[in-house]
Amino acid sequence: MGILNKEELRKQIKEGKEISLDGILDEFKGLLKEALQTATQEELTSHLGYEKYQESDNPNYRNGINKKTLKSKYGEVDVEIPRDRDGSFEPKLVPKRERLLKGSEDLILSLYTKGMSVRDIQHHLDDLYGYELSEQTISNITSAIIEKAKEWQNRPLESIYPIIFMDATVLKIRVDRVVKNIAAYIMLGVTLEGKKEIIGIWIGENESSKYWLTLLNELKNRGVEDVLIFAIDGLNGFNQAIQAVYPQAEIQRCIVHQIRSSLRYVSWKDRKAVAKDLKSVYTANTEEDAQIALTEFNDIWGKKYPHISQSWSNNWNELSTFFKYPQAIKTLIYTTNPIESLNSNIKRKTKSKGSFPTIDSAFKLLYLATQEVQEKWKNSRIRNWSEIYPQLSIFFSEIMEKYTK
């Protein structure tokens, strides 16, 4: 144990002895082995109720050891686990019939979350840690998470979310032996404390009012009584469903998505000028000024690109919602950026996978990826929330009174 002793390490360095990472790792594994064996001996002592070599009336007694090789994130570790005569001893630290040391499953799930396939994980463990796990074992570990994910998807929610963001990301999923582009919808809520909370993930349904109605009623059943503002992408039929389930909620259509849609069929030579003239619409100080700017835009570009002005006019009620609010709320709701950053993170993780073999496999990765992000958000909240919250309390005073008493 010389290398891991600080004084001994200094001595060896002064003497010019070679210190290798492999040597340090081997010594660490030796320490890990000693710690596991000592801990399981203590577990057995507690189970039997008397110390080794101590006399006892207990008919059960120590009965040698079982040798086993544990697979850990530090490599393989050979240990000797004590056993008892009647076989009732169940070690907690190194359970019977388990070959994976605690922490290894977390490592596998972490690699899976980063977008690695089961086969890639298998090779990674072999190359870096020197042990082999079957594809089936790795698959079983990642599959075990699905029940936990479903529990999370059905968990009770807050009674109110002042703001809910909804956006979609497209995944390649194999369905009936054909790889299809299927949308995954992710909903992000902002709590009364200004915390971001991923509410749920839904995969594989077509956009329709009926589908969104089912989804929003699911939120009601999980405890969500009130939502003040929905900030959404242009999801077909979602606005009608919102009006049916949360009739007092405001709807803000994402300006960034609207701009992208507007520029999709604009020629490259016109794109910069069109984007500049559109900017005068959504950066106007008031809704009245924005409508004037939209009329001026139509005068310039209406004949060449009639679809742009028509789309903005048709969706104006939902595109213009943010104009009624102060700047801090405007900045927060006029785009679905808070959830788009999450979707960008998911796209990075799914890019290397190519396609998912099933909807469940896609759901597993999305769940793990969102939980990773949720953990990072734990100690943060929406910027300027101390300014936004009292303003929302005034704009939605009748609703907020229920939650401020």
pLDDT in tens, 192-223: 999 999 999 998 766 678 889 999 999 999 99
pLDDT value for 369 = 83
For the stretch 22-41, pLDDT in tens is: 555 566 566 566 666 776 78
Residue 17: its pLDDT value, please? 61
Mean pLDDT over the full length of the chain: 82
User: Per-residue pLDDT averaged across 121-147, rounded?
Assistant: 59
- Looking at the DSSP bridge assignments, the partners of residue 190 are 163, 196
In 3D, which of 211, 215, 213 has the Cα closest to residue 199?
Answer: 215
- pLDDT value of residue 123: 57
| pLDDT tier at 100, thresholds 50, 70, 90 | low
Measure the CA dihedral 153/138/350/126, to 10°. Answer: 150
Tens digit of each residue's pLDDT (9 = 90 or more) over 276-287: 999 999 999 999
Task: Between 36 and 336, name the one with better pLDDT.
Answer: 336
What pLDDT sits at residue 237? 83
Integer-rounded Cα Rg, in Å, for the chain is 29
Pairing of strands 75-84, 62-72: antiparallel
Q: Considering the chain, what percentage of its residues have pLDDT values greater than 70?
A: 76
d(CA 391, CA 405): 17
Q: Report the predicted TM-score, pTM, of the whole model to 2 decimal places.
A: 0.70
- Give the closest residue to 262 by CA, choosing from 285, 248, 247, 278: 278
Mean pLDDT for the stretch of residues 334-342: 78
Per-residue pLDDT at 154 exceeds 80: yes
Burial zone of 71 (CB within 10 Å; 0-12 exposed, 13-18 middle, 19+ buried):
buried
What percent of the chain clears pLDDT 90, i.e. is strictly above it?
A: 40
The pLDDT tens digits of the residues spanning 369-399 come to 888 888 888 888 999 999 999 999 999 999 9
**Is pLDDT larger for residue 22 or for residue 146?**
146
The residue type of 325 is: Y
Confidence (pLDDT) at 171: 87
Place of tokens 């009748």: 398
